[in-house]
Structure 1
C-alpha cells in the first residue's frame, strides 16, 4: 500500500492472492458470494461425500481452506476476499480472550467444536477453531474444555511476551458465556460428575490461584468466539467479524 510521505498508522494482513488462486484451482473463480460462511441450519456430514469427484482435489482444497481459516477468520465468507486483519498501535497491553464451544456440533461423532480468540490490547493476535478430541457429556464440559484451550494459549503468549521483555503485569481475562464453566474455574469443590475433566479443572484453577487468569462471564451477544464454532445469522456474523478487526482496506486517499 502506497502511503506517500505519510507513515502507516496500522498494519494490514491479507491473503487475497492466495485465496483467489485456490478458487481458480478448483474452478470457482467466478463463484457468487454467500450471506454467511456457514449455513445456520444444515450440518456437514461424512455421509454426504466430497463435493468433487476427484478425492485428491478435495483433500487439497480442504487443506488449503483449513490454512486460510487459521490465518484469516473471515475467508469462508465469499465476497470478502479483499478483507484483511487490521493491527493498530495500542496503549493497552492487556491480554483479553474469548472462548466458546458448540456442544455436540459434529453430526458424525457428536464431538464439540471449540473456538477462541485472543486480543493483545485492541489487536487480535491469536485464534482457533477446532473439533474437540473427546466426547463431552454436557455443554458445561464442552465449554470448560474450551476454557482450558484458551488458557493454554494465553500462557504461551504470556511466556512469549516475557521472553521479548514485555511481561504482562495484569491477569489474562477469559470471557466465557457458560455460568457452570465459570463456576468450576474457581470453586475448589470437586464434583463427581466432573472427574473426567479433572486435569483441565486443576490446570485452570492453578492459573486462577496464581493470579495469571480470571474467568469472567460475557453475554452470548458479545461472545466474539462464537464466530469460530458455528454458523451465525448474517447481522451477528458481520458484527463479530468487524469486532475482530477484519475489514476491507480503506480507500486510497494519497494525493487527494
Structure 2
C-alpha cells in the first residue's frame, strides 16, 4: 500500500485528469464509493486508487501494476511518493506479524492538549451508566446553564466524531453528545470533556486488521429501546467483522419511535442487513469471493421469528417494509440469523453506556489493541 501526494494541481484539473486516467488506463470508478478507482488489467491482478482531494492511496496485489500507475501519475502530475503508508488523514498505520493496526494516537494527544486536560486524571469509561442528558429547555434560570461559547462544544464534538473511525468504544457517547449541538449546556460540555478524559487512559488504542486468511463476514446487531430521554426513540447499533477483524460499525438514533422492544430490534436488524448488502458488493468489486451466508447475531428471538415466519400479523404491519427486506435477504441466502445471549452480544457497546468490566470484555472481543503497551485493551 503506497501513499502518493499530488504537489502541483491546475485549476479544475483534478477530476478531469482522473477521468483521463479512467479512460486511457482502464480505471473504473467504484459503484459503491465514488472516491475509489480500480483497474483490473488481468484476471488475477488489480490496482485500487483511493482519492481524497490531492492525497492518493494506491494498493493492489501486484507491485508491477502499482509501479505502472505511479509512473503514469508522475507523467501527468508532479507527485511526491511517500512510500509505504504509515500516516494517512490523521490515521496511523502500523504493521506486525499479527496484521495491520489503525490508530489515531497523535490525534488524541492533540485533542487532549487543545481541551486543556493534559493534567487531569483519566476516566475508566467514556460515559457513566446513570448519566441522563436532556436537550435544553427554556425556563426562569435555564439561561445560566447555556454555554457562552457553543462553537467550542461543536468543534470538540466534530473532532470526536472523526475519532470514531478507529475508536468504537466512544461511538455511543459521541452519538448522544452530538444531539445537543444547537444549544449545548454546561452539563453537555462536562460530559464531552469526560470522553476526552477517558481517551487519556489509552490514547493509542486502535483496530487490529488480522493477517489470518479468514474472510468470512459476520454481523452483530442490537438496539436499546427508548434510549433517548427526550424523544423516546431507540438506538441502533451494529458491527461487521471479517474473520476476527472489525471492519465497520455504526450507532445511530432511530428515525421513528418504536412501540415495542421487538420493533426496535427489527429496525436495527434491517439497518444491519443494509450494511451487509453494501459490504458484500464492495467485496465483489475487490474480487473477494464470499459465497457463504453472512451470519447475523441477534439477541431477540422475537425479531428472528418475524424474519423467518412468512405470515404477517397485525402487530407487525407498521414495519412491513423492513420485514420484507430482511426476509428477502434471508430467503435468498445472503444472511443467516443466529440467536445470541445478551451477555455475548458484541454490539452492546454501541447502544448503551456500559461499565468498566463489560467494556474491557467487549473491546477484547472486537480486537482492539494498543501497540504502545503491546496489550489488548481487554487485558490492560
- TM > 0.5 between the two? yes
Aligned to 2:292: 170
- Could you list the runs of 5+ residues in structure 1 that have no partner in the other structure? 2-6
Within a 5 Å distance, the mapping from 1:23-102 to structure 2 comes to 23-47=112-136, 52-75=147-170, 76=195, 77-78=198-199, 79-102=201-224
- Structure 1 or 2, whichever has the larger Rg, is 2
Aligned to 1:8: 96
Q: Could you give the per-residue CA deviations for residues 52-90 of structure 1, whole angstroms, max 9, x where no partner exists?
A: 531011111112112222431135443011111111112
The partner residue of 1:192 within 291, 314, 332 is: 314
Deviation at 1:250?
A: 5.6
- Could you list the runs of 5+ residues in structure 2 that have no partner in the other structure? 1-85, 87-94, 171-194, 375-380
2:321 equivalent to 1:204: no
Scaled by the length of structure 2, the TM-score of the pair is 0.62
Q: Could you give the per-residue CA deviations for residues 185-217 of structure 1, whole angstroms, max 9, x where no partner exists?
A: 111111111111111110000000000111111
2:240 equivalent to 1:118: yes
Deviation at 1:24?
A: 2.2
- Root mean square deviation of aligned Cα: 1.9
Deviation at 1:32?
A: 1.8
Scaled by the length of structure 1, the TM-score of the pair is 0.90
Deviation at 1:114?
A: 0.8
Deviation at 1:47?
A: 2.9
Deviation at 1:245?
A: 1.0
Aligned to 2:260: 138
SS state at 1:124 partner? strand
SS state at 1:47 partner? coil
Rounded to whole Å, the distance in 1 between the matches of 2:283 and 2:345 is: 25
Higher RCO (C-alpha under 8 Å, 6+ residues apart): 1
Runs of at least 4 residues off by over 6 Å: 48-51
Rounded to whole Å, the distance in 1 between the matches of 2:151 and 2:123 is: 26
SS state at 1:74 partner? helix
Rounded to whole Å, the distance in 2 between the matches of 1:122 and 1:83 is: 17
Deviation at 1:251?
A: 5.1
Asked if structure 1 preserves the Cα contact closer than 8 Å seen for 2:218 and 2:241, the reply is: yes
Deviation at 1:145?
A: 0.7
Q: Could you give the per-residue CA deviations for residues 132-177 of structure 1, whole angstroms, max 9, x where no partner exists?
A: 1111111111111111111111111101111111121100011010
Between structures 1 and 2, the one with greater strand share: 2
Aligned to 1:4: none
Rounded to whole Å, the distance in 2 between the matches of 1:123 and 1:226 is: 17
SS state at 2:337 partner? strand
Deviation at 1:219?
A: 0.4
Asked if structure 1 preserves the Cα contact closer than 8 Å seen for 2:204 and 2:370, the reply is: yes
